[in-house]
Structure 1
Amino acid sequence: MEYLLLGFFTGLSLILAIGAQNIFVIEQGLKKQYIFLVCIICSISDLILIFLGIFLFQYFGNFFNSTIELILNILLFIFLAHFIYGKISIQKNKINFNQEVKNISLTGIITKTLAFTYLNPHVYSDTVFFLGNFSKNLLIIDKYYFGLGASIASFLFFFTIAYLSKSLSKYLRSDKVWKQINLLIILFMSLLALFVLFEIIN
């Protein structure tokens, strides 16, 4: 259960931010266009990428030695430091949502959703590399729980921001709310960074 919760909060910290994909999902919720389809594509894609990262590191873990482990932990720490710095630097950003409703075909919305998901370089660094690398030393059963927790966070997040976008619009548009969320993410990721640093030192 602890690894399920760890995966959930780690996954939520990675996804709980205003990026291109999340803005797109919120906008579809505000427009009431293909909400379920957009959410399910984003959520299943995250699940696939999360377990892809976990299985890749599980497979290549058979070839790891202490030097490779150290290099991966250093890269993990650098990633976390960069991630935290990025969260700090976007504190001044303004949020704008496009609510203009335009006709779009089923094929068009599927293509657009897949593009926002798989053409986003952060999805590979955050989801595949970070979650796979972070869970590399867990027992195989704990990796499943960790991945499941992160996947649940994605499903919950996408469906919540899309279907509740109208009622949450007051908060979704608030720079103050997102700044407070960012501070929580920075705190959580800083704790993970300290944990990784401890692993490097020892």
Structure 2
Amino acid sequence: MGLSLIVSIGAQNAFVLRQGLRREHVVACVAVCAVSDVLLILVGVAGFGSLVANTPWVLQVARFGGAAFLAAFGLMALRRAVRPAALTAADAPVERSAAGRTGVVLTLLGLTWLNPQVYLETIVLLGSVAATQGEQHGPAARWYFGGGAMVASVLWFSALGAGARLLRPLFARPSAWRVLDGAVAAMTFALAAALMLHPL
């Protein structure tokens, strides 16, 4: 259940893949995604899913904020796609500045915590399913269920970050980066539009 929600082509996964290909702050990216998912799943399993479901204004604030953030992120990806010079960063030295790491972490935090879909999937959906497990099999069952979802998240982001290096030969060409960034731009624009056009 957890993997079915986590393993999808989204802005968060695309960003982690891109950082993995660049070998840039991969551990920080994996840590941010995994810890964020664990915290959100923990909140959902603890029973806050129904609380969020009954306070629609929280989701609406996240909806508009998330749409604005995704649109800005999409513009940055589009700029990289149309400017070949911006695509050669994969060959940059492994050493990175602290400011670069901070920027990567803040971007990923935005892609994670400003996305209303994350709350719906982890807190509301997983929280609701965990609650049914508890009703059917006893109180401990929902925590087993939540623990499984947390493990799935940690394993997925670790595999995505570490496994990206296997694709480096393909992304040695600037054209491959152009395609990736173009796809990321299209995807984030589509997500932003979906958030604005379809109320949560």
Counterpart selection for 2:107 from 91, 108, 122: 122
Distance apart, 1:71 and its partner CA: 1.8
Structure 1 CA distance for aligned equivalents of residues 15 and 92 of structure 2: 24
SS at match of 2:73: helix
Is the Cα–Cα contact under 8 Å of residues 16 and 30 in structure 2 kept in the other structure?
no
Gap runs ≥5 in structure 1? 26-37, 103-111
The one-letter amino acid of 2:34's match is L
Match of 1:94 among 87, 92, 110: 87
Q: Residue 58 of structure 2 is aligned with which of 68, 72, 78?
A: 68
Mapped contact 2:67–2:196 kept (Cα < 8 A) = yes
Residue 153 of structure 1 and its aligned partner are, at CA, apart by: 4.2
Paired residue secondary structure (2:125):
coil
Normalised by the size of structure 1, how large is the TM-score? 0.60
Q: 1:187 to 1:198 in 2, by over 3 A?
A: same
1:161 shift after superposition: 2.6
Partner AA of 1:123 in structure 2:
L
Partner residue in 1 for 2:162: 159
Mapped to 2, the partners of 1:6 and 1:198 lie a distance apart of 22
Relative to structure 1, the CA distance from residue 8 to residue 129 in structure 2 (aligned partners, 3 Å threshold; closer, same or farther) is same
Deviation at 1:132, TM superposition (A): 3.9
1:61-90 deviation per Cα after TM superposition (whole angstroms, max 9, x unaligned): 736633333222111211221221221122
| CA gap 1:74/1:119 in 2 versus in 1, 3 angstroms | closer
Residue 140 (structure 2) aligns with: none
C-alpha distance in 1, partners of 2:78/2:150? 27
In 1, distance between residues paired with 2:161 and 2:179? 19
1:8 corresponding residue in structure 2: 7
CA shift in 2, pair 1:199/1:118, >3 Å: same
Question: More displaced, 44-53 or 177-186?
Answer: 44-53
- Cα drift, residue 142 of structure 1: 6.1
Supply the distance in 1 between the matched residues of 2:106 and 2:34 (Cα, whole angstroms).
16
Q: How does 1:12-161 map to 2 (within 5 A)?
A: 12-17=13-18, 19=19, 23-25=22-24, 43-53=30-40, 55=42, 59=48, 62=51, 65-91=55-81, 92=83, 93-96=86-89, 97-98=91-92, 116=101, 120-130=105-115, 132-133=118-119, 135=121, 137-140=124-127, 151-161=154-164
Matching residue of 1:171: 170
Alpha-carbon separation, structure 1, partners of 2:150 and 2:197: 23
Q: Give the RMSD, CA atoms, in angstroms.
A: 4.1
Query: Could you state the TM-score of these two structures normalised by the residue count of structure 2?
Result: 0.61
Report the equivalent of 1:196: 195
Question: Which letter maps to 2:178?
Answer: K
Deviation at 1:199, TM superposition (A): 3.2
Structure 2 unmatched ranges of 5 or more = 131-145
Q: Flag the 1:90–1:152 CA change in 2: closer, same or farther, 3 A.
A: farther
